[in-house]
Amino acid sequence: MSAFYYRPIVQTDRNRPAGALVLAGGWSWFTHVERLSRDTKPEVVPAAAVPEAELRHFVSRRRLVCGLSMDAPRIMGILNATPDSFSDGGLHNSFDGAVKRGFEMAENGADIFDIGGESTRPGAAFVPSDEEIARTVPVIEALRAGGFDLPISIDTRKADVADAALSVGADMFNDVTAFTYDEASAGVAAKHGASACLMHAQGDPKTMQDDPQYDDVVLDVYDHLAARVAYAERAGIPRGQIVVDVGIGFGKTIEHNMQLIRGMSLFHGLGCVILLGVSRKRFIGVIGNAPEAADRAAGSIALGLEAVRQGVQILRVHDIKQTKQAINLWQATL
C-alpha cells in the first residue's frame, strides 16, 4: 500500500474544463485530488500527480453489476424479513407481505431488491441459518415464480444462507462482514458467479456501537476494504463484480459517519462500484431532530444526493419513490 492516498475533488458542473477526467465512467469529473497520508498534512495536487495504476482505478468505467450498467445512479430497495430491524422490522416479515413489498419496490423505481433475514441493528441477536433461510428463500422463489425480474441481493453474513438464496435466483451476496464472518462465503459467491458487496464493520451487531475507535476512520476503512477486495479476487470473484460499502453506522460514531461521507470519493480508488447505506439511520435522527426512523427520509435523501454527487453508484434505501424522484430532479440539473 502506498504511503499516499488520493481523494478526487469531485465536480458535476456542466462546464467541464479541457483535460478533466471522468470519474469511474459516470456523471462526475475531477481535475485535482486531495493527497492524504497518515504522516503529513493533506494537500491538493493535480490529477496528473496520481500514480498511473491508481489513476486507472479512478477513471475506468465500472462493469455491469447484476446486469445493470453503472453509468447512472441505482437504487437498492431494502426489505428486512425480520421482526426486529430498526426501521421496518415486523412490517414485512410475513411471507405474503414480503412478496407484495418486492413487487411494490419494482413499481416504485427500485433497481435492485435486497432481502435480509437477520437484523444487523446495534444490539441485535444472532439468528440461526435455518431460520434465516426460512425467512428469505421462499420469498425469492415466489418473486421469481411471479415474474419478478429485478436483480435480487441476499443480505447475510452466512455462506449457507447465501448459497440457498443464490441457488433459487438471487444475484448478489451482500455481506456486512466482507467475508470475515464465514470462511466459506467467498467461495460460495465465486461458485455462483455472483456479485458481492463487501461492507466494513467494526465489531458485531451486539457490540459494535459500544466505543468504536480508529486512528483515521477514512483511511482505516479504506485499507480494510482494499484488503477484503484483494481477498475476494484471490477467491475467484472479479473486481468488476465487487461492490464496496463503508458501513455507515456499523461501529462508527456520528463524527466517523460524517467523515466517511465527506471523504466518499476516496473509495473510487479501489476500482469497484460503491454502495452507500444511510437510510433512516440513527445519526440522521440525531442531527436532523427526527427521533422516529420513519421521519428520516429527507435527511437520508440529502446524504444520498451528496454521495451521488461524489460518484457513488448505488444507494440502499427504504424510501424508494422519494429517492427516485430526488435523483431524477438532481440529474435534470446536470
User: What is the tens place of the pLDDT at every residue in 14-69?
Assistant: 999 999 999 999 999 999 999 999 999 999 999 999 999 999 999 999 999 999 99
Packing angle of the helix pair 95-108, 129-145 (nearest 10 deg)? 50
Helices and strands counted in the chain (H then E): 10, 13
Q: Which of 162, 100, 159 is nearest to 136 (CA)?
A: 162
How far is 287 from 275, CA to CA, in rounded Å? 22
How far is 188 from 192, CA to CA, in rounded Å? 6
Packing angle of the helix pair 320-332, 297-309 (nearest 10 deg)? 40
- Catalytic annotation, pick one of 62, 121, 158, 316: 316
**Cell 421462499 sits on residue:** 138
- Report the run of H or E that residue 173 belongs to, with start and end: strand 172-175
* Whole-number pLDDT of residue 37: 97
* Whole-number pLDDT of residue 85: 45
* Whole-number pLDDT of residue 89: 46
Q: Check whether 1 has a pLDDT greater than 50.
A: no
Quick one: what percent of the chain has pLDDT higher than 70?
94
Between 82 and 103, the more confident residue is: 103
CB 137 within 8 A of CB 116: no
Report the mean per-residue pLDDT for the chain: 94
**Cell 440522521 sits on residue:** 284
Instruction: Please state the rounded mean pLDDT for residues 4-19.
Output: 96
Q: Check whether 99 has a pLDDT greater than 80.
A: yes
* Whole-number pLDDT of residue 84: 47
pLDDT band at 329; cut points 50, 70, 90: very high
CB 154 within 8 A of CB 137: no
Q: Which of 64, 76, 66 is nearest to 113 (CA)?
A: 76
Q: Residue 237 contacts by C-beta under 8 Å, 6 or more apart in sequence?
A: 186, 189, 190, 196
Q: What is the largest CA-CA distance in the chain?
A: 57
Q: What residue ranges do the domains of the chain occupy? A: 62-332
- Catalytic annotation, pick one of 135, 158, 228, 281: 281
Whole-model pTM?
0.94
pLDDT band at 94; cut points 50, 70, 90: confident
Determine the 3-state secondary structure of 44 from DSSP: strand
User: What is the tens place of the pLDDT at every residue in 123-157?
Assistant: 667 899 999 999 999 999 999 999 999 999 999 99
Would you call 281 a catalytic residue per the annotation?
yes
Q: Check whether 197 has a pLDDT greater than 70.
A: yes
User: What is the tens place of the pLDDT at every residue in 207-232?
Assistant: 667 678 999 999 999 999 999 999 99
* Whole-number pLDDT of residue 119: 81
Instruction: Please state the rounded mean pLDDT for residues 228-247.
Output: 98
* Whole-number pLDDT of residue 205: 67
Q: Check whether 92 has a pLDDT greater than 70.
A: no
Antiparallel, parallel or unpaired: β 112-116 and 152-155 = parallel
How far is 268 from 50, CA to CA, in rounded Å? 13
* Whole-number pLDDT of residue 298: 97
Total number of residues shown for the chain? 334
User: What is the tens place of the pLDDT at every residue in 243-288?
Assistant: 999 999 999 999 999 999 999 999 999 999 999 999 999 999 999 9
Q: Which fold has domain 62-332?
A: TIM Barrel (3.20.20)
Instruction: Please state the rounded mean pLDDT for residues 234-248.
Output: 98
Between the alpha carbon of residue 119 and those of residues 36, 143, 160, 228, 243, the distances in Å are 35, 22, 17, 23, 21
Residue 17, burial from CB neighbour count under 10 angstroms (0-12, 13-18, 19+): exposed
pLDDT band at 83; cut points 50, 70, 90: confident
Would you call 324 a catalytic residue per the annotation?
no
